[in-house]
A and B are shown apart, each in its own frame.
Chain A
């Protein structure tokens, strides 16, 4: 019996190390594959040249511009909504009030809704019902709905991490709640908001399925936000599935996307650690 337990103990040690090494190797394999194949044509000109011949040659300039425009629209709409909701949830409703619970449950489900369903909704609502057609505007608005839960969750965590002493001190000085919010809480909770924005951008930039039927496929340089524009992730999808011979440019585009996301991930970790000792993200 004693020996038997000893063996289980040892086996588990081996088990966790083997798993960890295997997972690391798997991820190293994926990363090195994209890195080695993508670096071949990654250059400055790749970033500033527009795609030619359905993307087989040329760069991704117009794709990057469309992606940026989609992101900007997404943030302009999602930020005020997300920020306001987070303030209400953190400062004005307690954990067990019905109103707060309903909103929170709603947002949890929204966070789990598959991106293709957002795509269907965006197509029916923004493109057709509101008559925006296949456009960067529709895509950005669809993404705004998608990043809302992430934005709210981190911002709310930021406000909750502010010590109650601040609120009591402000009340003691006779400050109203609106003034307390703007002058006391906002500066302290700002890192939470920053993390939310960074994570939201990360989710938005990685999105493909929700944009297929909202912002569309067109790879020309967009003239306005009512034009259809191709995002960077759709560019990868299109090059690898629909364009024979597009593989090498797909690799390079994938590398650009991965680099962007790693930078975004590091920024959010840096902000979290720098300003709050690491308890913002949960």
Chain B
């Protein structure tokens, strides 16, 4: 009669939680296992020092320089974050302090809907509308610039919603006190609201950057996918993510393993960014 349902439940829940937490460890280990043969055959430094990216099943006849693609990923992310951050902060300010309540609610709904639109739809729109427009300004069209524009549109909702949430977290007293001191709206924002929510805003920007660097489909569709270090905004580029999506279908042997290495690099970069964002949000840094 000593059937302890509470104890059983607790152990059941613990098992499930460990399984859920274990997914990340599983992903990490499988990427590592698949990368090992590339690290052993090709070696870590050849990914940065080889003359070009001409992968081959056999590591001796191929060359494996990832630098142009790492730079490609980095430039697109930087451009998108640079453009999206001010727009997103202004959007959130609009929602919170400037717009009449009905307009603010409507605008927030628009942003929420667009945060949920899949990347393949943005990519498709970029391919059929944006790329031809850029081609008219300067051929070939698919370019770093197209990638930056599409990513800006994609991460703007992410950063705007996080900033919006950060503004909501500012204690009401701050606003009341600022009003009582007779501050203008801009003075209030600059002196009280923005400093009080700077951790939330920073976390939003970091997460936006993470989304930008991990984005695959939209970038794959608008960036042209030429492996080169871009010299201008109108040059086509290939990012790490697009490279995986393009070559995984036929890659074997060391080539396949090299693609897992680039996935591993992405995973480590993102994990670092998320942890920094968490620390920033928790006010540790």
Partner of B244, one of A5, A120, A129: A120
Chain B 1-50 residues near chain A, CB threshold 8 A: 5-6, 8-10, 12-14, 16-21, 23-27, 30-31, 33-34
Closest residue on chain B to residue A20 by CB atoms: B94
* CB–CB A19/B94 < 8 A: yes
**B112 and A265: CB pair below 8 A?**
yes
For B31, the chain A residues whose CB sits under 8 A away are 117, 120-121, 124
Q: Are A9 and B186 in contact (CB under 8 A)?
A: yes
Residues of B within 8 A of A (CB): 5-6, 8-10, 12-14, 16-21, 23-27, 30-31, 33-34, 87, 90-91, 93-94, 98-99, 107, 109-114, 116-125, 127-129, 153, 156, 165, 184-187, 189, 207, 210-211, 213-217, 220-221, 241, 244-245, 248-249, 259-260, 263, 266-267, 270-271, 273-275, 278
- CB pair A113–B270 under 8 Å, yes or no, is yes
Q: Are B13 and A123 in contact (CB under 8 A)?
A: no
Shortest C-beta distance, B210 to chain A (Å), equals 5
A8-B118 CB under 8 A given contacts A106-B24, A109-B270, A113-B214: no
Q: Are B118 and A20 in contact (CB under 8 A)?
A: no
Q: Give the interface residue-count category, chain A.
A: 35 or more
Chain A residues at the B interface, C-beta cutoff of 8 Å: 5-6, 8-9, 12-13, 15-17, 19-20, 23-24, 26-27, 30, 33-34, 80-82, 84-85, 87-89, 92, 102-103, 105-121, 123-125, 129, 145, 148, 152, 176-179, 181, 202, 205-209, 212-213, 233-234, 236-237, 240-241, 247, 250-251, 254, 257-258, 261-262, 264-265, 269, 282
Contact A213 B271 (CB under 8 A): no
Of all chain B residues, the one with the shortest Cβ separation from A210 is B216
Q: How many A-B residue pairs have CB under 8 A?
A: 242
Contact across chains for A8 and B186 when beta carbons are under 8 A apart? yes
Residues of A within 8 A of B221 (CB): 237, 240-241
Having A26-B153, A152-B20, A206-B120, one finds 18 other A-B pairs with CB under 8 Å, namely A12-B186, A33-B125, A81-B19, A82-B20, A84-B16, A107-B21, A109-B274, A117-B31, A117-B270, A148-B20, A148-B23, A206-B117, A208-B120, A237-B217, A240-B123, A240-B128, A258-B121, A269-B109
Chain A to chain B contacts (Cβ below 8 Å), 5 pairs: A23-B110, A106-B25, A117-B31, A176-B6, A212-B245
Q: Is A19 within 8 A of B91, CB to CB?
A: yes
Identify which of B165, B215, B267 gathers the most chain A CB atoms within 10 Å of its CB. Answer: B267
**Contact flag A261-B118 (CB < 8 Å), given A85-B16, A120-B244, A208-B217:** yes
B27 touches A118 (CB 8 A): yes
Give the docked Cα–Cα distance between A84 and B12 (Å): 8
- Within 8 Å by CB of B119, from A5, A16, A206, lies A206
Q: Tell me the smallest distance from the CB of A97 to a CB of chain B, in Å.
A: 12
Q: Is the CB of B91 within 8 A of A20?
A: yes
